[in-house]
Amino acid sequence: MTISRPRQDSRHIGDLQRSQHLEEFRRATRALLMRPLMDASHEDFGAVRRQADRLREWFSREAGWMLHVERDGARLYKRPANLSDDSRGLAGYDQRRYVLMCLACAVLERADPQITLHVLGERIVTLASEPTLAPRGYEFKLRSATERRELVAICRTLLELGILQRVAGDEESFVHEGESNQADALYDVQRRMLAGVMAAVRGPSTWRTEEAPVDFEDRLASLVVELVVDSDQGRRDALRHHLARLLLDDPVVYTASLGNEAQAYFINQRGAMAARLCEASGLAPEQRAEGLALVDDFGTLTDVSMPAEGTEAHATLLVAEHLASRLRDGSENADAPCTEEAISEFLLGSVERYGRYWRKSAREPGAEKELTQIALDRLHKLQLISHVGQEVHPLPAIARFALGETDVRSGKALKTKDSVLSGTEPLSLFAS
């Protein structure tokens, strides 16, 4: 009797299956990082369900985040490592709109399986009139088109999250014809998705009135405080989770920004941590003396793209290159802060060279100030600058953005209305 060797094509099929399995796991990981609250209609939900067990184990071990996957959707309880970072959150949302969002969720939690836009608005008005909100200056009467537009913005967010599903009607008609009973919309309420909105460890309603934290920072911290085992291993796990959350959430982690204990752990373990995180997410580690970045070569695992198309994106890249030159030239003033006014003057000077490729409104007198604020906001979110008051300090990672000689693309090469200016191939975006 002889034992035959495995056929070559059998080994190839096995390697291919393992590769496909890993790719699906990475796709599911990236999808959950970008959409922690995911309904069943998401294009990657099937991959998340198939990889559910492995994903639960990986997120729990590496970041201390819980993952619940059900038939109707998935919820990664993704809590930020830095609670003081005000650059996170829903686009276009301010404090007033977040309060309105909370009131809408409170109404839906008590509502029937279906609700109309009119009924939702009326019940929110009732909740907004409670005595606890009036002393804080909050008022919502739903009497103006502006307030109706705010309510519609909330509904569209809930639709995007899968908490509401439109059955009939149109929100836009409600904005313009709000006084008419015919201008309405009907929704199904997805209670399982609604239950996963809050990612807090402890809900605010569980505090007794006399024990509830008063200070805003204390209230925020009380929502996400987690049990840390009082042992050396427990503290190391907490440090590892904290650092992993930073690396998965932020574009770059600077060693100097960490506390002494976290800094010591980070210096010793960052290579191994980066390898594990990158294997699962498809990111690429970039280690420097100043810290560590996980780079996204595809530019999809981010909510702020750089480089990107459009006038604002090009202005941002110009400002980044301008600030990076202060670090590269090694001059005496390299560490001196730059001011917003100086950056506005720089962009004003750039209009002569690039303005004819920008949209018309960006060439108007005074537009450079708006462009400056947009550029600095993007660079701050990507942790490429420190922006305090009127002072702007370039941070080390900004040195990786350089333009070189600019090649202007025009005519048929442009697919969008906003012209794109392309220089030497820019380095990839830090994963956000």
The whole-angstrom separation of Cα 198 and Cα 82 is 17
Q: Are strands 338-339 and 391-394 parallel, antiparallel or unpaired?
A: antiparallel
Task: Please say whether the beta carbons of 273 and 243 come within 8 A.
Answer: yes
| Predicted local distance difference test score (pLDDT) of residue 66 | 95
How deeply is 181 buried, as exposed, middle or buried, from its count of CB atoms within 10 A (0-12, 13-18, 19+)? exposed
Provide the token pair at 280. Answer: 């699962």
For 291, the 3-state DSSP assignment is strand
The whole-angstrom separation of Cα 396 and Cα 385 is 8
| Predicted local distance difference test score (pLDDT) of residue 333 | 55
For residue 285, what are the β-bridge partners? 294
| pLDDT: which is higher, 208 or 70 | 70
What is the crossing angle of helices 260-281 and 232-249, to 10°? 60
Convert the pLDDT of each residue in 245-284 to its tens digit. Answer: 999 988 789 999 999 999 999 999 999 999 999 999 999 9
Could you give the angle at the alpha carbon of 253 between the alpha carbons of 249 and 254, nearest 5°?
Answer: 160
Which of the given ranges, 53-62, 249-258, 337-346, has the highest pLDDT on average? 53-62
Q: How many CB atoms lie within 10 A of CB 256?
A: 9
Residue 345 neighbours by CB under 8 Å, 6+ apart: 368
Provide the token pair at 299. Answer: 């530019």
Which of the given ranges, 86-95, 282-291, 333-342, 416-425, has the highest pLDDT on average? 282-291
Compute the radius of gyration of the chain from its Cα atoms. Answer: 25
**pLDDT grade, residue 10 (50/70/90)?**
low
| pLDDT: which is higher, 61 or 137 | 61
Q: What stretches of 225-259 show up as alpha helix (H) in DSSP?
A: 232-249
The whole-angstrom separation of Cα 142 and Cα 265 is 53
Convert the pLDDT of each residue in 311-320 to its tens digit. Answer: 998 999 999 9
Pick the CATH number of 311-430 from 1.10.3470, 1.10.520, 1.10.357, 1.10.10: 1.10.10
For residues 140-155, average pLDDT: 92
Question: Closest by alpha carbon to 161, among 189, 140, 185, 184?
Answer: 189
Query: What is the four-CA torsion angle of 74, 77, 78, 84, rounded to 10 degrees?
Result: 140
Least confident range from 68-77, 135-144, 235-244: namely 135-144
Q: Distance between terminal CA atoms of the chain? A: 60
| Predicted local distance difference test score (pLDDT) of residue 275 | 94
Q: How far is CA 243 from CA 28, 232, 236, 281, 293, in A?
A: 21, 17, 11, 16, 12
Q: How many CB atoms lie within 10 A of CB 374?
A: 17
Task: Please say whether the beta carbons of 116 and 188 come within 8 A.
Answer: no
Task: Please say whether the beta carbons of 287 and 271 come within 8 A.
Answer: yes
For residues 348-377, average pLDDT: 89
| Predicted local distance difference test score (pLDDT) of residue 405 | 52
| pLDDT: which is higher, 55 or 249 | 55
| Predicted local distance difference test score (pLDDT) of residue 124 | 95
| Predicted local distance difference test score (pLDDT) of residue 417 | 37
Q: Give domain limits for the chain.
A: 20-76, 104-195, 232-296, 311-430
Least confident range from 13-27, 55-69, 286-300, 324-338: namely 324-338
Residues recorded for the chain: 432
The whole-angstrom separation of Cα 399 and Cα 385 is 11
What is the crossing angle of helices 95-110 and 145-161, to 10°? 60
The whole-angstrom separation of Cα 77 and Cα 206 is 19
**pLDDT grade, residue 363 (50/70/90)?**
confident
Convert the pLDDT of each residue in 391-430 to its tens digit. Answer: 898 888 888 775 555 555 554 444 433 333 222 223 333 3
What is the crossing angle of helices 52-63 and 260-281, to 10°? 160
Predicted confidence (pLDDT) at residue 166 exceeds the cutoff of 80 = yes
